[in-house]
C-alpha cells in the first residue's frame, strides 16, 4: 500500500503542531477585566439655541484684537458660533482673497470693514469690536 501526502496538507499539519507546541511553553498571562469609563454628563446640558441679538462671548482675532461674537439672523447655538469664529481666527486656517473667505463646515465666512460675518442656510453670525 502506498500513502500519498500532498505538500500543502503536510505544511498545514506542521503549522498546527508548531502552534500547539508554542502554547505549552508560553507563560500564562494574567487576565484583567476590560474597564470602559462612563462618560460624565455635561454640566450645562444640551446647548440652547441663541436668538438674533444674542452676544455669545469674545474671541481673539488673527490681529490680536478682541471681538464680540453675536447671532444676527436665524437660530444657532453660542457653542457653535464660538467654535466657528475660533476656527476662523486660527492662524492655521487658510483664508482666500482680501476678504479672507473661509468655509468652516456649513458656514461661509468673510471679513469686510473689520466685521467678520459667517452665514449658513439657517443663520448668520458675526464678530464686532
pLDDT digits (tens, 9 = 90+) for 22-63: 445 555 566 666 556 555 555 556 778 899 999 999 999 988
pLDDT digits (tens, 9 = 90+) for 60-88: 998 899 999 999 999 899 999 999 999 99
- Give me the residue spans of the domains in the chain: 49-128
- Tell me if 118 sits within 8 A of 88, measured CB to CB: yes
Which neighbouring-strand residues pair with 123?
74
Rounded distance between C-alpha atoms, residue 73 and residue 16, angstroms: 69
Full-model pTM: 0.64
Amino acid at each position: 500500500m502506498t500513502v500519498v501526502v500532498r505538500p500543502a496538507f503536510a505544511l498545514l499539519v506542521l503549522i498546527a503542531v508548531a502552534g500547539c507546541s508554542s502554547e505549552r511553553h508560553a507563560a500564562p498571562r494574567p487576565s484583567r477585566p476590560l474597564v470602559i469609563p462612563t462618560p460624565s454628563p455635561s454640566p450645562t446640558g444640551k446647548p440652547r439655541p441663541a436668538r438674533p441679538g444674542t452676544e455669545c462671548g469674545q474671541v481673539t482675532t488673527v490681529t490680536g484684537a478682541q471681538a464680540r461674537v453675536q447671532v444676527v439672523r436665524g437660530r444657532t447655538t453660542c457653542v457653535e458660533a464660538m467654535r466657528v469664529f475660533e476656527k476662523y481666527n486660527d492662524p492655521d486656517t487658510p483664508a482666500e482673497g482680501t476678504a479672507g473667505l473661509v468655509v468652516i463646515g456649513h458656514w461661509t465666512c468673510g471679513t469686510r470693514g473689520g466685521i467678520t460675518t459667517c452665514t449658513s442656510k439657517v443663520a448668520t453670525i458675526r464678530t464686532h469690536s
